[in-house]
Structure formats: C-alpha cells, structure tokens
Amino acid sequence: MPTPLNILVTGGAGYIGSHCVKRLVADGHTVTVLDNLGRGHRAAVDAAAEAGGGKATLEVADLRDTDAVEAVLRKHAVQAVIHFAALAYVGESVHDPLRYYDNNTAGSVSLLTAMDRAGVRRIVFSSTCATYGEPTQDQMPITERLTQQPINPYGWSKLMTERALIDYGNAHSDFAFAALRYFNVAGSDPGAHIGEDHEPETHIIPVVLNCALGKVEKISIFGDDYDTPDGTCIRDYIHVEDLVDAHVTVLGALGDGDQRFYNLGTGNGTTVMQIVEAGRKVTGHPIPAEVGPRRAGDPPALFADPSKIKDELGWFAKRTDITEMVADAWRWFEANPDGYGD
C-alpha cells in the first residue's frame, strides 16, 4: 500500500478524473476534487468515491480563480495534484482557440501559481499525443523524443502547459512534475459505477455505443481513403483504468527536481473500422455506418511507443483487447443510457 497522501484531482468530476478518484480512494488516499462542473458531473464524484470504497470531497471552483484554488489547496493540506481539468475537443479548439488557451493553458498557469503560493510541489499533468502533431508514418510508433509540433490549438494549449511546467521546474529544484501524453482513452470501470458522459459526444467509441442505444441513427466514418490497411484512421486506445494506474505509478516515483514525460498507450494501432466492428460484436446492434469526409485536423495514424515508462518504472498497459475495452464502456452505456442524467 502506498503512503496515504492528500491529493487534489482537478477535473475529478469528468470521465478520466472520476476513474482516478475511484482508484485513489481505493488506495487509501484523501481525495479532494476541484471541478468547475462545466463539463463534469457532480454525481460522478460520489459514485467514483463509493466505487473506491470511501469518500471524496468536491470543491466547485474554476482553475482560473487562483485565490480559490489556493484556498482549496490550503484547506485540504494538499500534498500532490493530479491535473485532468481541461477542454478536450480537437474540432472545437480549431473553431474557438482562445477558449482552449484560456481554460487549458491559462488555467494550468493559475493552478501552478496557486500551488506555488500554497507550497505544493508535486503535479501529474494530463498531456496528449496531440502535442506531436502529424508525425510521418516512418516516425511511428511515437517516442517521447519526437519533436512536438501540434497541428491544432488543443495540442498547443497542452504543449504550452508542458513548457510552463519545465520552466517552473527549472526555477524550483524542489518541484517535480510528470506530463503524461495520452493516446486515445477508452473503456470504463467494469462495475459500471462511473463512465463516459460528454455533451457534445464526438469520440468514436461513445458515438458507436450511442448508435447501439438508438440515440444516433447512424455513424459517420470520417474518411476511408487514408493510407492505412482499411483506409480508416489508426489510433492507440488505452483503457482508462490502465491510464489511471500509470498516474499512480508515476506519482509514487516523483522525486525533487524530476521532470518526467511519458507516452501512455498500448503500442497497438486500431482502425476506426475495427472499432465499429468491436461495437457490433459487443452490442449485437448492426451500427449502420456511412463514410463521410475527413475531419479537419485528423492525422491518419497515431500510436505510441510505450517503452520509456516500462523501462523506467516497469509500468505497461495490461488491458490491450479493444473488444474488452468497448465491452466495459458498453456496460456503463447500457446501464446509464442518459449518463449521469444531469
């Protein structure tokens, strides 16, 4: 059992954050969630804590309110922060970039300022493979050494946060951070206590499952003329519980002065068509699909070389079967067709 800590989870009312809350509570940590509930769900925090066999405290505040965040850090004697809170739609970021820089980048700088004032010296940050931009096929799988050159404001908003963390870390040798670059996060708590409930929902697996629920008439495959085996885009889907496990491992390893960067993926590529097929298999629904135009900003293939975190910390993704990931997600969708109902 790890040493119990007072941990602040920003965005803990969201999809990934709530899975982290469940895990941290189960591990015996004292968990405070900071969320503005803009896209999170109040009910997710209690459901997550209950699934973890304990309680978590929700503090409703916006990251950009530095004074409020500082007060939360002091009130709960926070020792480490796991920072999920962010807007995370590539397409939306292209149309409304300032919102992304404000929420994601300025919000993170505000959080760091509050941590600085309150003397909190550890943070694990949700970064993204979108910081790598559009690597060429001969650069697959993606290592952490690949030049980061985002192709959309979402990716830039996260990369700028990585930069702020590096520069702050360079100025403070007792500070430590990790930036975890997620590939595509999928699946949910197999007990279906918590899951994915986004509005709007644009991610492929939830869209497929919403189709099985009859909430979406048919799905659109965004392009089948890519240079991939079946012409549809390739992504690296990692189970949310594996992803959370990596955060716990990394947090436990952080020591003064650390600046760690890890890709979080399985190393396997799955096409959009394979996701649709997994959805059909798991739900028994025909999932009508039509091929539509390519989506702006979509790289053809993205998958991780996840060996750095394995070599350094012994961590690797254990749930690699895409059908099982879709099946876990389906359990939540089937039991909660209206999500959290808020």
Strands 234-235 and 270-271: antiparallel
Q: At closest approach, how far in Å is the CB of 257 from ligand UDP? A: 32
Q: At closest approach, how far in Å is the CB of 105 from ligand UDP? A: 19
**Which stretch, 34-42, 162-170, 214-222, 332-340, contacts ligand UDP (CB under 6 A)?**
214-222
Gyration radius of the chain over CA positions: 19
- The answer to whether the bond into 141 is cis (omega within 30° of 0) is yes
**Which stretch, 65-73, 145-153, 163-171, 202-210, contacts ligand UDP (CB under 6 A)?**
202-210
Q: Which of 15, 100, 132, 154 is catalytic?
A: 154
**Identified binder of ligand UDP from the candidate list 101, 102, 213, 222, rule CB under 6 A:** 222
> Known catalytic residue: 340?
no
**Identified binder of ligand UDP from the candidate list 203, 280, 285, 310, rule CB under 6 A:** 203
User: Does 298 contact ligand UDP by CB under 6 A?
Assistant: yes
- The answer to whether the bond into 200 is cis (omega within 30° of 0) is yes
**Which stretch, 119-127, 190-198, 203-211, 244-252, contacts ligand UDP (CB under 6 A)?**
203-211
Residues 82-111 as x/- pattern, contact with ligand UDP by CB under 6 A: --------x---------------------
Provide the residue count of the chain. 342
Helix residue ranges, H only, the chain: 15-26, 42-51, 66-75, 90-95, 97-100, 107-118, 153-171, 204-212, 240-253, 272-283, 307-313, 322-335
Residue 34 near residue 64 (C-beta atoms within 8 A)? no
242 phi, psi to nearest 5 deg: -65, -45
Residues 47-86 as x/- pattern, contact with ligand UDP by CB under 6 A: ----------------------------------------
What is the distance between the alpha carbons of residues 94 and 107, in angstroms, rounded to a whole number? 18
In the complex, the residues that contact ligand UDP under the rule CB under 6 A are: 90, 184, 202-204, 207, 219-222, 233, 235, 272, 295, 298
